[in-house]
Amino acid sequence: MMTTGWRISVAAIVLSLAAPSYADRSAETTLEVLHWWTSASEHAAAELLREAMEEEGYRITDYAIVGGAGEGAVKVLKARVLLDDAPDIAQIIGPSIRNWAELGFFHSLAGSQDNHTLFDNLSSPVFDLVAYEEQPFAVPLAIHRVNTLIFNQTLFDKFGLEPAVDWASWLEQLDLLQQAGIVPLAHSNQPWQNATLFETVLAVTASPDTYHQIMIEQDSSALLGEEMALSLTRFRQLKSYMQPLRNSDWSEATRQVFEGKAGMQLMGDWALGEVLQWQTGGLVGSQIDNQIGCSAFFSQQHLYSVDSLVFFRSGSLTEGAVQRLVQKLGDSDFQYRFAQVKGAIPARQDAALSVQPCLAASARDFEQQTRLPSLVHRTAAIEEVRNVFIHALHRFFNDDTQDIKLTQTRLAAELRALQ
Ligand code: BGC
């Protein structure tokens, strides 16, 4: 089943018959791009993407699905693929790329020698995320750091605070802000935001090995173990530092910190892109001013996710067209500009870095620290595993009567059923 508006129009077919050259044909092709970038900075990043593809002569239909972390977009994408109505290009992250590639849904991107400048300039964890049987099937655009602390610098200066170095000193800061009548932690009660908070807490509470066993292997003994129990305890403890929970976009919580209505937020570094957008309109090369500070959330770990795009074989794109788009989106200047607007680091290692100190640190840490793939942001496990975690954590966070041990047992059992 095909919808109107994103396939080749009748006029385009007529024109393509009259103008056989490839460049001319592309000018008449409309490509539908499905993604979940809808906040101010995300929209600006999607516009950069659109411009880049339009420069290659395509018309772009931007199919943006509201819902942070792709909660709506992935469901819509699956439904459309089942209806044989896949978009031409879609944002897909992590192991799903491999699984769908194995089923033959995507163009392989290995075909053109030119594109090797992109694929030769990726670090191996990034290449592995977009590859199936050593062949790339997605263009990685930018690497996000999920364990980012964003804080109101004016409030930090007023109370003489520096980013905390461990859990105990962090709680002291939260207590201090609370006693001064300031909401210590901006947070909203969407299931994926709760789970993002949890995985950031887990990254500073459990050892990297345990994180790995829980989030990548879903190992029962780690799920039932002490580090998991302590992470759940800490996760729940943070509720007392939040305003009564509301179900709002992540950017609303960022706005509270920006306006000094809350002290801090734990969120992916896309929140920095948002602040940059509010302050400077996302001007490339500009820096967020000292109203907002940021740092990695005191771990020696880089909790990451990689935004990437796949090209559906059922779409309007020929192999050659795909290779040209890959070259365009894999270009180091494009990756630099995209990452800056997005609040991330370019996937390409040889692309210039943002002047934002937090992002420069993210690039350095991604090379030097232990890398932990984010489960919530789809880098660690398949969608079904991710969803079981998210729902269990959301239930636990919202219901104080849920026993920690019972939550662990139930989660381990649910995950075992998926294996
Ligand atoms: C994506 C980011 C996006 C964020 C919030 C993450 O899963 O990787 O690109 O900005 O969700 O929607």
**Residue ranges lining ligand 1, Cβ < 6 Å:** 36, 42, 68-70, 144, 268, 270, 305, 307, 377
Q: Tell me the pLDDT tens digit for each residue of 377-391.
A: 999 999 999 999 999
Q: What pLDDT score does 288 carry?
A: 74
Q: Quickly tell me which residue has 């570094």 as its tokens.
A: 269
Going from the Cα of 374 to the center of ligand 1, the distance in angstroms, rounded, reads: 11
What's the full length of the chain, in residues? 419
Distance separating alpha carbons of residues 169 and 166, to the nearest angstrom:
6
Give the pairing type, strands 131-132 and 89-91: unpaired
Atom of ligand 1 nearest to the CA of 68: 12
Nearest to 107 by CA among 330, 318, 348, 308: 318
Distance separating alpha carbons of residues 6 and 34, to the nearest angstrom:
11
Going from the Cα of 21 to the center of ligand 1, the distance in angstroms, rounded, reads: 38
HEC string for 226-262: HHHHHHHHHHHHHHHHCCCCCCCCHHHHHHHHHCCCE
Burial label for 67, CB within 10 Å (0-12, 13-18, 19+), is middle
Distance separating alpha carbons of residues 410 and 393, to the nearest angstrom:
11
- Residues in the chain predicted with pLDDT less than 50, given as ranges, are 1-25
Give the pairing type, strands 139-145 and 345-346: antiparallel
Task: State both tokens at 264.
Answer: 């801090």
HEC string for the chain: CCCCCCCCCHHHHHHHHHCCCHHHHHHCCEEEEEECCCCHHHHHHHHHHHHHHHHCCCEEEEEECCCHHHHHHHHHHHHHHHCCCCCCEEECCCHHHHHHHHCCCECCCCCCHHHHHHHCCCCHHHHHHHEECCEECCEEEEEEECCEEEEEHHHHHHCCCCCCCCHHHHHHHHHHHHHCCCEEECCCCCHHHHHHHHHHHHHHHCCHHHHHHHHCCCCHHHHCCHHHHHHHHHHHHHHHHCCCCCCCCHHHHHHHHHCCCEEEEEECCHHHHHHHHHHHCCCCCCCCCCCEEEEECCCCEEEEEEEEEEEECCCCCCHHHHHHHHHHHCCHHHHHHHHHHHCCEECCCCCCCCCCHHHHHHHHHHHHCEEEECCCCCCCCCHHHHHHHHHHHHHHHHCCCCCHHHHHHHHHHHHHHHC
Residue with CA closest to ligand 1 atom 4: 69
Atom of ligand 1 nearest to the CA of 377: 7
Strand-pair partners of 307: 142
Going from the Cα of 12 to the center of ligand 1, the distance in angstroms, rounded, reads: 34
Q: Quickly tell me which residue has 């400048």 as its tokens.
A: 117
Q: What pLDDT score does 314 carry?
A: 87
Quickly count: other Cβ atoms within 10 Å of residue 295's Cβ: 17
Q: What pLDDT score does 9 carry?
A: 38
Nearest to 367 by CA among 291, 302, 319: 302
Ligand 1 mutation pick, 49, 144, 193, 338, max ligand atoms within 8 A of CB:
144
Residue with CA closest to ligand 1 atom 1: 69
Atom of ligand 1 nearest to the CA of 67: 12
Q: What pLDDT score does 4 carry?
A: 36
Long-range contacts of 171-176 (CB under 8 A, 24+ apart): 171/237, 173/263, 174/238, 174/241, 174/263, 174/264
Q: Quickly tell me which residue has 């400077």 as its tokens.
A: 280
Distance separating alpha carbons of residues 351 and 348, to the nearest angstrom:
6
Residue with CA closest to ligand 1 atom 3: 69
